[in-house]
Amino acid sequence: MEDLSDETYFVDGPRHVSPYFNILELIKDSEKEFADAINEVWGVDVDGINCVNNMISKGQNLHIHNDYYEEHETANFPPVRGIIYCNPKYNFGTNIYDHDENKNFIQESMQTIGGKPGTLFLFRVSETSWHSAINPDGNSHRLIVSLQAVNRKTSK
């Protein structure tokens, strides 16, 4: 797979890429089903999905972080995120971490999940939802779609 990303991004973090295949259209076509499933699992009130293609390029990693920005977790942006893995074959997944009593991640607790083509990893973000993506051999690109659950009804 070729590098489709914008070269101006730093080594740490995903790079935004132009639409690839028709995955964003397919997600938008199934937006109601995504929202209904998220509402059922987590008891939130979402009616849509924001999504963007991202690529972690050769030699690039995504540092340990938790996607939790308390002041931005509102009724319009409930704390649910997701990843769809888009590479044609398994590349590398997402590392998740346990936390200590101070809500800091524990490096040794790392487990890798996801990464299979076409699979979806949904998670509820919090102060302790630590995760990362480490490109183990640095020789391949990982193409994903990042998802964020939204509630557009409350902003009208």
pLDDT tens, position by position, 12-68: 555 555 555 577 888 889 999 999 999 999 888 999 999 888 888 888 888 999 888
- Residue 88's domain comprises 15-155
Say which CATH number the domain at 40 has: 2.60.120.620
How far is Cα 110 from Cα 3, in angstroms, rounded to an integer? Answer: 28
Q: Is residue 74 part of a domain?
A: yes
Beta bridge partners of 16: 54
For residue 22, what are the contacts with CB-CB under 8 A and spacing of at least 6?
A: none
Number of domains in the chain: 1
Beta strands in 17-130 (DSSP E): 48-56, 62-65, 80-85, 94-96, 111-113, 120-124
pTM: 0.79
Cα angle, residue 39 at apex, residues 93 and 148 outer, rounded to 5°: 45
Mean pLDDT score of the chain: 82
Q: Is residue 22 part of a domain?
A: yes
pLDDT tens-digit readout, 114-141: 999 989 999 988 889 999 998 888 888 8
Q: Is residue 99 part of a domain?
A: yes
For residue 87, what are the contacts with CB-CB under 8 A and spacing of at least 6?
A: 1, 117, 140, 141, 142, 143
Mean pLDDT along residues 63-78: 76
pLDDT score recorded for residue 77: 75
